[in-house]
Structure 1
Amino acid sequence: MTRSPAGAVVTGAGRGLGRQLARLLLARGYQVLVTDVNPASAQEAADELGDGATALAVDVRDQAQVEAARDAIVSRAGRLDVWVNNAGVLVTGPAWEQDEAGRRLMLDVNALGTINGTVAAISAMRRTGGGHVVNIVSLAGLTAVAGEAVYAASKHAAIGFSLSTMADLRLAGVRDVDISCVCPDGIWTPMLHDKLDDPGSALSFSGKLLKAEEVVEAVRTVLDKPRLVTALPGRRGLAARLASLAPRLGLAAAPLVVARGRRTQKRLLADLRQRGAPKA
């Protein structure tokens, strides 16, 4: 028997993709806790989303805050069914040009934040009949990414953790908790929009920029039919996996791919200036 939707949590939901994912879950009948490190953004998103959405300021690096979010939705909805780890940070450039604070921020938010959310969610889901953790990762978690080495490291960690935790769940006999990693290419959201004039992020612009709606649709699909790893778009996902299987070839192709991304950045910037629109 299929049970009715209860509670869901989305991290990093104050704007962009996270807000749209919260909207998807509301449309599917969940009571949704919208979380963001910025309390004003979280509240603004919840107000816009309307009935069924509540806000809570959560720094995903802090396990106590993450657990408080879990307890809040269980108290309100009676059960936690879905947890979406969406919060993420991107700082670009070679690792040796980044300061320690920037490197640590990416690792703590993108990797440790995903771990904190997943562990907190699993502990509730195991008590209340199962659930689904969806981790928004990146194609950067599948291959080498010039200009985004530390970011890629954080995303590789998120995928490695997710797959290994699924193995642990199954070895423990837990069959009603699933973890899915959705790995999109560059998404045209505020985070990437802010990188238009940043040459270090050129690789994110080297393919077809995804619309947030396309990632939302991928999440909808894995919620209906759990899948361990979903790459978007599929062709770029295949290319990323092939590059990882043959790293010398992938590295040899990197300058061409980066050059393509920089051309896209320049074109988009020129389009914005022609329309008189601000970059961010």
Structure 2
Amino acid sequence: MSRIHAGAVVTGAGRGLGKKIAALLVECGYQVLVTDVDLATAQDTADELGGGTTALAVDVRDHTQVETARDAIVERARRLDVWVNNAGVLLTGPAWEQDEAARRLIIEVNALGAINGTVAAIEAMRGNGGGHVVNVVSLAGLTAVPGEAVYAASKHAALGFSLSTVADLRLAGITDIDISCICPDGIWTPMLHDKLDDPASALSFSGKLLAPDEVVDAVRTVLDSPRLVTTIPRWRGLLVRLGDTFPRFGLKTVPLMVAQGRRAQRKLRSTGGPRNL
């Protein structure tokens, strides 16, 4: 996986999962550009990771800023090999209770951000040795998620865009650019920790909360062997797909899963964190 002068970009890498993915790429020998909407956070991560890691403030909703990040890593590393679209936001509640600004933020960061990053990366990779785009999606991109309808819509969009773009690449005869979608269950990161008191996000707590390192391991795996869709854990992915095949049955199980998630939230509030991490 390591290459001389290979460039990589990770969005939303100032903290949490993105920071750990950036650390993986540094470990593998890539010259990494850490991007985050907050420059100070991105710079702190770059300084901590070392290895010549650099930082840049990027709002993934702005394609011009995304292109600036792309051009910066190409100028520095001579080529772009890996682009990880990790930036995301999670706001919960029924769609009719969210104002337009909240709905727009979720869709633009999670869906348009992934689109902007993927398009910018493809433009740099075409005719320059190819490369790999990794889109951190979610199990919410595969099924119904009560309390997170707009978030689920954004993740469905990101997944549908990714798979359709792979099809377009292959129809255009481009075989040296891969796109892999990582679809994890709830991950114990600051974003989810902030939802412990939020009953609308209960479904995210209904399974085994993942350690960020479990998702990083999945990214490591697809970088070595590209795969269109990876669900984590695999059994939850199979359960989700079964529910989608029989949607009426799937929707009937939702109240049970929400109740389980709310029990898990109460337990986590009392213990301070999951014991399995």
Is this a same-fold pair by TM over 0.5?
yes
Question: For residue 21 of structure 1, what is the amino acid of its counterpart?
Answer: I
- 2:70 maps to 70
Identity between Structure 1 and Structure 2 (%): 75
Q: Determine the C-alpha separation between the residues in 2 that align with 1:85 and 1:240.
A: 23
CA deviation after TM superposition for structure 1 residue 36, in Å: 0.1
Say which is worse superposed, 45-54 or 8-17, in terms of deviation: 45-54
Runs (5+) with no aligned partner, structure 1: 274-280
- Give the alignment of 1:111-260 within 5 angstroms: 111-260=111-260
The TM-score, its normalising length taken from structure 2, stands at: 0.97
Q: 1:201-237, CA deviations, whole angstroms, 9 ceiling, x for partnerless residues?
A: 0000000000000000000000000000000000000
Say which is worse superposed, 237-246 or 170-179, in terms of deviation: 237-246
- 2:8 maps to 8
- The residue matched to 1:196 in structure 2 has which SS? coil
- 1:31 maps to 31
Q: 1:229-265, CA deviations, whole angstroms, 9 ceiling, x for partnerless residues?
A: 0000000000111111111111111000000000000
CA deviation after TM superposition for structure 1 residue 3, in Å: 5.2
- 1:82 maps to 82
Q: Determine the C-alpha separation between the residues in 2 that align with 1:171 and 1:73.
A: 28
Question: For residue 128 of structure 2, what is the amino acid of its counterpart?
Answer: T
Question: For residue 181 of structure 2, what is the amino acid of its counterpart?
Answer: C
Is residue 205–residue 264 contact of structure 1 (8 Å, CA) maintained in 2? yes
Q: Determine the C-alpha separation between the residues in 2 that align with 1:214 and 1:37.
A: 25
The TM-score, its normalising length taken from structure 1, stands at: 0.96
CA deviation after TM superposition for structure 1 residue 51, in Å: 1.9
Residues 3 and 272 of structure 1: CA distance in aligned 2, closer, same or farther (over 3 Å) = closer
Question: For residue 216 of structure 1, what is the amino acid of its counterpart?
Answer: V
- The residue matched to 2:272 in structure 1 has which SS? helix
- The residue matched to 2:67 in structure 1 has which SS? helix
Q: Determine the C-alpha separation between the residues in 1 that align with 2:33 and 2:213.
A: 20
- 1:100 maps to 100
- 1:276 maps to none
- The residue matched to 1:81 in structure 2 has which SS? strand
Q: Determine the C-alpha separation between the residues in 2 that align with 1:30 and 1:272.
A: 36
- The residue matched to 1:197 in structure 2 has which SS? coil
- 1:40 maps to 40
Runs of 4+ residues over 4 Å off in structure 1:
none
Runs (5+) with no aligned partner, structure 2: none
Is residue 14–residue 44 contact of structure 2 (8 Å, CA) maintained in 1? yes
Question: For residue 221 of structure 1, what is the amino acid of its counterpart?
Answer: T
Task: Indicate the RMSD between aligned Cα atoms, in angstroms.
Answer: 1.1
Is residue 8–residue 81 contact of structure 1 (8 Å, CA) maintained in 2? yes
- The residue matched to 1:55 in structure 2 has which SS? strand
Q: Determine the C-alpha separation between the residues in 2 that align with 1:272 and 1:10.
A: 29
Question: For residue 126 of structure 1, what is the amino acid of its counterpart?
Answer: R
Q: Determine the C-alpha separation between the residues in 2 that align with 1:127 and 1:89.
A: 33
